Amino acid sequence: MVLSTQDTAPDFELPGTAGTDISKYRLQEYTTEGAVVLVFYPFDFSPVCTEVLCTFRDSEFLTFTDDIDVFGISLDGCYAHQEFIQEYDLAFPLLSDTKGRVTEQYGLAYDEWEHHEGVPKRALVTIDDSNTVQYMWHTENAYDSPSLETLHQTILSLTDED
């Protein structure tokens, strides 16, 4: 079942990279410092995912906000993530959910998408400093795009509370 607004976000720990080193990332370590935006996406280097992640890279309201952390999550491994980050100069870590456990916990796995099972749906999840989901967008059609204005307004409301 897909999480909804006001649900408690399940904590997780995944390997990931910000482009060079591979580290462990635990959600709760970041939500204690502020809000987190999780960007679930099917694959590194797929045309639609590349476009969307580059849009996030270029969104000033995400990159210039100190108390918001952004993480991309897909089934791809950290080495593919390193190449993807370097190729497109992404300014946020990409996490490897290679077994799909986090994708399943959040209710965001396709049964099948382009002949791949368990691939993450395109989704945005904004989690506040109390691990509560404040914004959730997901789609069955991986070619649909979220409203960045709605995400921006959610982030503004979270950062205004401080």
Report the relative pairing of strands 68-74 and 94-96 from DSSP bridges: parallel
Task: From residue 113, give the alpha-carbon distance in Å to each of 7, 42, 77.
Answer: 26, 9, 18
Catalytic residues: 49
Q: In this structure, how many other beta carbons lie within 10 angstroms of the beta carbon of residue 141?
A: 10
Residue 79 burial (C-beta neighbours within 10 Å; 0-12, 13-18, 19+): exposed
- Pairwise CA distance, residues 98 & 80, whole Å: 12
The owner of tokens 């080193």 is 21
Q: Taking Cα atoms as reference points, which of 19, 37, 25, 12 lies closest to residue 103? A: 12
- Alpha-carbon gap, residue 145 to 122, rounded angstroms: 8
